[in-house]
Amino acid sequence: MTEIALRNVRLLVAYDGTDFHGFAESDGMRTVMGVLSETVGRITQYAVRLTGAGRTDAGVHAWGQVISGSLPAGTDLGRLQTSLNRMLGPEIAVRDATWVADSFSARFAATSRTYRYDVWNDRVPNPLIARTAWNVGPHLDLDAMNAAAGDLVGDHDFTSFCRRAKPAPGHDAPSMRRVVLSARWRRIDDGSLLRFEIGASSFCHQMVRSIVGTLVEVGQGRRSADSMPATLAAGHRNAAGQIAPATGLALWQVGYDGARWDA
């Protein structure tokens, strides 16, 4: 029996999610994690098991997804990164690869996540950013959207904005309490591109897309700018607006606690 020494690696990964069936591995589907695991396995000749910081849905992108897992300790990370970028680019890009402490988990060690959502607010679509922005025709009132977004900042129960996972038999429904650290829209280059950034301790399923869809309804005047407290208090999905499409969303950055995880 042969034993190989393993070491924990952290990968910083960007991808265009358009042509993937989401992030998490799923039998018979082309997913970001599936393609990555398979390719890392092919290069290292080791059946690697990777963990991601955020499970992005089908069509959602990432700039700063973080992935961890154990690799043979002799792996040359610089060469691994170069090989991955050559084999998977430009659809997936490994921006960084470093050894980290064994106790590091991309998912459980994360203390915050930031998502970015782009809206192209013009009655005519923009072909140059069609893969990464949601086209909303009617004019949006950015001030109203920011007033509403401000009411989401803080420690709240986000049940109204969460696609609820069915609890396992005999278990209580998981808590949808989350701490939103920041939520702000800004106009890029005085033009038609509106960019939303939201940071939180963590997010429940489809929370960002549900928030964006609801705030866009505020921007269209279909909801009032001061309606968020009532929407939060309602505690059911029907209180919130439509789910914004995956196209405009990207997992932008994952925060960790200082240098605790250095290898």
Nearer to a copy of itself, 125 or 235 (CB): 125
Which of 116, 124, 115, 114 minimizes the C-alpha distance to 191? 124
The CA distances from residue 24 to 30, 64, 77, in Å, are 10, 16, 23
- Beta strand segments in the chain, E: 6-15, 50-52, 61-72, 92-99, 112-121, 134-136, 154-157, 177-188, 193-200, 249-255
Q: Say whether residue 168 binds a copy of itself (CB under 8 A).
A: no
β partners of residue 251: 62, 115
Q: Is 197 in the site for a copy of itself (CB under 8 A)?
A: no
Cβ closer to a copy of itself: 188 or 234? Answer: 188
Residue 5 CB, shortest distance to a copy of itself, in Å, is: 28
Closest residue by Cα to residue 262 from 33, 81, 7? 7
CB of 225 to a copy of itself, least distance (A): 28
Nearer to a copy of itself, 35 or 176 (CB): 35
Interface residue with a copy of itself among 6, 16, 25, 101 (CB under 8 A) is 16
Judged by CB under 8 A, the stretch of 129-137, 164-172, 173-181, 231-239 that binds a copy of itself is: 129-137
Q: Does 95 bind a copy of itself (CB under 8 A)?
A: yes
Q: How many residues bind a copy of itself (CB under 8 A)?
A: 24
At its nearest, how many Å lie between a copy of itself and the CB of residue 184?
Answer: 16
Residue 128 near a copy of itself by CB under 8 A = yes
Query: What does the alpha-carbon distance between residue 253 and residue 251 come to, in Å, rounded to a whole number?
Result: 6
> Per CB under 8 A, which of residues 74..93 are in contact with a copy of itself?
81, 85, 89-93
Residue 57 appears among annotated catalytic residues: yes
Cβ-based neighbour number of residue 161 at 10 Å: 30
Which is the catalytic residue, given 19, 27, 57, 157?
A: 57
Q: Which of residues 29-68 bind a copy of itself (CB under 8 A)?
A: 61, 63
- Closest by Cα among 27, 51, 26 to 40: 51
Q: Which is nearer to a copy of itself, 81 or 159 (CB)?
A: 81
Residue 126 interacting with a copy of itself (CB under 8 A)? yes
Least Å from the CB of residue 63 to a copy of itself: 7
C-alpha 125/C-alpha 135 separation (Å) is 6
Residue 195 makes contact with a copy of itself by CB under 8 A: no
Q: Are 61 and 40 in contact (CB under 8 A)?
A: no
b (16+ CB within 10 A) / e for 209-239: bbbbbbbbbbbbeebebeebeebbeeeeeeb
- Give me the residues that bind a copy of itself (CB under 8 A), please: 14-16, 61, 63, 81, 85, 89-95, 124-128, 130-132, 135, 250
**Catalytic residues, which ones?**
57
